């Protein structure tokens, strides 16, 4: 089996495990899918911030500050209200989980899970015991 197939298989398994865990915690499948999608965006942006890739600041391109997190981004990545893609994705995650008793925990370190969820049962699957990690293709 190629590395790519193993990685995809591993991601699929992690994704299915995550959805099963969250549905046991009372979260709908649609909300789980929305969280998975936006967690991938948060992870991708965190990696771009670390590497200086677009849309994050790399010290060479013109940037503007996000009105919410004050991080520098390429002006084309910001909305008219000057909100960055990371803050928009985080807001969508909070909105998707708003009707459930689940609290998102955000991190900026792309070496681990940038989005974890504190669930009512107290279940964790990370080393720091802070929540259930949301799997992404990049992590």
pLDDT at 2 over 70: no
| 123 dihedral zone (left: phi>0; alpha: psi -120 to 50; beta) | beta
pLDDT at 9 over 80: no
Q: Note the pLDDT tens digit of each residue in 60-110.
A: 989 999 999 999 999 999 999 999 999 999 999 999 999 999 999 999 889
Domain locations along the chain: 3-133
Q: Which residue has the higher pLDDT, 137 or 106?
A: 106
**pLDDT given for residue 22 in this prediction:** 97
Q: Note the pLDDT tens digit of each residue in 18-32.
A: 999 999 999 999 999
What does 118-136 look like in DSSP terms, one character per residue? Answer: E-TT----STT-S-EEPP-
Task: Say whether pTM exceeds 0.75.
Answer: yes
């Amino acid at each position: 089996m190629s590395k790519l197939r193993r990685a995809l298989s591993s991601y699929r398994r992690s994704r299915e495990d995550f959805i099963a865990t969250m549905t046991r915690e009372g979260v709908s499948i649609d909300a789980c899918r929305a969280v998975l999608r936006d967690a991938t965006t948060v992870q991708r942006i965190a990696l771009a911030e670390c590497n200086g890739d677009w849309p994050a600041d790399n010290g060479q391109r013109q940037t503007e500050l996000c009105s919410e997190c004050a991080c520098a981004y390429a002006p084309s990545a910001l909305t008219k209200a000057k909100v960055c893609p990371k803050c928009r994705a985080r807001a969508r995650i909070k909105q998707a989980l708003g009707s459930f008793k689940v609290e998102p925990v955000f991190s900026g370190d792309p070496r681990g899970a940038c989005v974890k969820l504190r669930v009512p049962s107290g279940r964790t699957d990370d080393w720091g015991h802070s929540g259930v990690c949301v799997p992404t293709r990049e992590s």
